[in-house]
Amino acid sequence: MSTLFTPFSMGPVTLANRIAIAPMCQYSADEGIASDWHMIHLGHLALSGAAILFLEASAVSPEGRISPKDLGIWSDQHAAALAPIVAAMRRHAPIRLAIQLAHAGRKASSQVPWEGGANIAIDDGGWQTVAPSALPHADGETVPLALDDEGLARIRDAFVAAARRSHALGLDAIELHAAHGYLLHQFLSPLSNRRSDQYGGALENRMRFPLEVFAAVRAAVPATMAVGVRMSATDWVDGGWDIGQSVRFAQELSAAGADFIHVSSGGISPAQKIPVGPSYQIGFAARIRAETGMPTIGVGLITEAQQAEDIVARGDADVVALARAMLFDPRWPWHAAAQLGARVDAPPQYWRSQPREYKDLFGPTTLGQR
């Protein structure tokens, strides 16, 4: 039996298999409002056969957007735009739905990727960014304002309000974005956090604000909703955040009631040197899983069915998440199930597509036509 296609529980949320669709920014919103692109994009991914779909990074405040086209959830209007998309997916697919709540910090105010992705200066239509310290992401970029106590409280409250809207939408899980060089990661890393108060310096202090945000979000939604964190396990820069600190952070999150940890890496500095290759981040997930016992999602150039199967069968991660591979092949779980001799969910409208050699791929099906 394929381990990849066995059920698994992340806290209160039971997954039909071990395949997740990682959050992928679409840069297609209007002032944070979801568009018809989101209906099309998320709708077809919901039919993929994966067990859980993470909606893209959704900004908890306007200045927290990576780009002017980022999805947002900082008002009831934003939630209302997502509601019919969520309802459509619920009508037609059993997939679990999660949202990634995010604040970009000093990496905000950027062009969309297909326009270069560079920092947009304030004089060119960008906005003032904020961060733990007044250090830009790269030389020549907007210098962020160092957050004071009032600013920290405002952002923490914005995460809480976004979490409550996410719960009201009927989503199954929330993932806090503490990876890829965005605000919560900026607090964790000594490369971006040079504060001298209770939120800077020692590891305990650098973890403090992300842990406060997590605790506030966990308390804001019922226990029936899973809450987890995506982290960068290493900055890939000497003197930066590393796997040892990540294990400690994950242990603190576990003690605070986190239901899962989603392990990625990098993003804090242009000086990073990442040895990219198949499964290049899975070793980090394996160590965090082994030392915390927390349900762990592994990610990073996972493209092949047997590769994914081996990761979960070895216990390196409980769930594998795909992003680019899922965009390239939105039926990746179907093809993986066929290759591994497993079953996968498919909508009845698509049952006719089941190849003759895989008679049990979609489970018991009944088709008739006059």
Among candidate residues 26, 60, 9, 83, the one with its CA nearest the CA of residue 177: 60
Among candidate residues 325, 324, 343, 321, the one with its CA nearest the CA of residue 334: 343
Q: What is the mean pLDDT of the chain?
A: 97
* 280 assigned to active site: no
pLDDT band at 319 (very low <50, low <70, confident <90, very high): very high
pLDDT band at 362 (very low <50, low <70, confident <90, very high): very high
Tokens 């923490």 correspond to 156
DSSP reduced 3-state for 72: strand
| Token pair of 332 as six digits | 């990746």
pLDDT tens sequence across 98-133: 999 999 999 999 999 999 999 999 999 999 999 999
Among candidate residues 67, 97, 69, 100, the one with its CA nearest the CA of residue 179: 100
Helix (H) or strand (E) segment spanning residue 176: strand 173-178
Q: How far apart are CA 366 and CA 280, in angstroms?
A: 42
pLDDT band at 169 (very low <50, low <70, confident <90, very high): very high
Res. 366: pLDDT tops 90? no
DSSP 8-state assignment for residue 114: G
Q: Which residues pair with 111 in a beta bridge?
A: none
* Catalytic choice (182, 199, 280, 350): 182
pTM of the model: 0.97
The arithmetic mean of pLDDT across residues 21-38, rounded, is 98
Q: How far apart are CA 268 and CA 295, in angstroms?
A: 25
Q: Which residues pair with 72 in a beta bridge?
A: 59
Res. 194: pLDDT tops 90? yes
The arithmetic mean of pLDDT across residues 53-58, rounded, is 98
pLDDT tens sequence across 248-277: 999 999 999 999 999 999 999 999 999 999
- Length in residues, the chain: 370
pLDDT at residue 370, as a whole number: 80
pLDDT at residue 160, as a whole number: 98
Res. 368: pLDDT tops 90? no
Among candidate residues 355, 322, 320, the one with its CA nearest the CA of residue 4: 320
Q: Would you put residue 298 in left (φ > 0), alpha (ψ -120 to 50) or beta?
A: beta
Res. 369: pLDDT tops 90? no
pLDDT at residue 367, as a whole number: 83
